Amino acid sequence: MSDFGLLGSSGAFKANLLELRKRRQDIIAANIANADTPGYKARRLSFEEELSKTLPRGDELPMRRSMAGHMPTPFELEDGEIQEVETAIPKGDMNSVDLEQEMSRQTANQLLYNYAVQSLSGQIKKLKMVIDGQ
Amino acid sequence: MIDTKSDFLTSFKVTASGLAAQRMRLNIIAENLANAQTTRTPEGGPYKRRDPVFMSRPFQDFLTREQAAGATGVAVDRINVDQRPPRLQYDPTHPDANADGYVAMPNIDTVTEMVNMMSASRSYEANVSVLNASKAMALKALEIGR
């Protein structure tokens, strides 16, 4: 994930984000597939907090490369954490999957995935424009 | 810390297992409803209600052959035979009636089966919509750089 060449660290960041969102989709798929499995606990993949730590904060200046020879600083993301959660409304079979929650999480995740794809595509498009000189 | 490397086939496989399990459940409910009046079976006595028991099953990633963290599918572990006593119905003209005129009917409650059927069909639909979402995401990824 470190060598993204022309796309640089922001390209690496977006690619890593896509990977994490895809993993979240896997977990949601597993939760919905197991919605009727006795004793199954719903799982959550959390990475937003770790992700925000890799971004510069408002009161801090972002790191910059002052010389071209310096090493670029790619965003090294944490892989995220999988946690098992309980439901607010317990079911009789010790299963904690809330179908409505999972479906809405899936929709949100899908939208944000599409957003990341478009953002990465936009970056590549600009690069192409520069290369073509148009 | 988990390994984030997994391909799109993982979520497809997980969802496929969910679809297969719900279809199996639906088949068993159909069997129960079809046999709601069956008083003779090869093993003797009235038909006994059947119920699938689901179990979560971890998957291996298609490319890395490693277990994909958190993404577990579902499988039918076994089919439970309901051992509750048969429902006795008074019908002295029935060939299977006992000396008192009571017939042992299957221990099936049609309303329960219908509710289970609706639940299975909704769960199936939920899995279909997950499959569509996963597919849309995979196709979107192909648009990168276009």
The greatest distance separating any two alpha carbons of chain A, rounded to the nearest whole angstrom, comes to: 65
Percentage, residues of chain B above pLDDT 70: 89
Q: Which of B7, B129, B144, B146 to mutate to test the interface with A (most CBs of A within 10 A)?
A: B144
Q: Domains of chain B: which residue ranges?
A: 4-83+109-145
CB of B50 within 8 A of CB of B82? yes
pLDDT of amino acid B27: 96
Nearest to B126 among A23, A32, A125 (CB): A32
pLDDT at A75 over 70: no
Percentage, residues of chain B above pLDDT 90: 73
Left (φ > 0), alpha (ψ -120 to 50) or beta: where does B101 sit?
A: left
The residue type at A36: D
pLDDT at B129 over 90: yes
Judged by a CB distance cut-off of 8 A, whether residue A108 touches chain B is no
Nearest to B70 among A30, A102, A106 (CB): A30
pLDDT at A44 over 70: yes
Separation CA A110–CA A120 (nearest Å): 15
pLDDT-based confidence at residue A55 (cuts at 50, 70, 90): low
pLDDT of amino acid B2: 47
pLDDT of amino acid A86: 85
* Sequence-distant (≥ 6) Cβ neighbours of residue A112 within 8 angstroms: A21
pLDDT-based confidence at residue A52 (cuts at 50, 70, 90): confident
Query: Of B138, B144, B137, B123, which Cα lies nearest the Cα of B15?
Result: B123
pLDDT at A116 over 90: yes
User: For the segment B59-110, what is each residue's pLDDT rounded down to a tens digit?
Assistant: 765 555 556 667 889 999 999 999 999 999 999 999 999 999 999 999 999 9
pLDDT at A41 over 70: yes
3-class secondary-structure state, position A21: helix
Nearest to B137 among A22, A27, A32 (CB): A22
DSSP B42-99: TTSSS---EEEEEEEEEEE-TTT-SEEEEEEEEEEEEEEEP-SPPEEEE-TTSTT--T
Say which residue the tokens 């221990």 belong to. B107
The residue type at B135: K
pLDDT at B133 over 80: yes
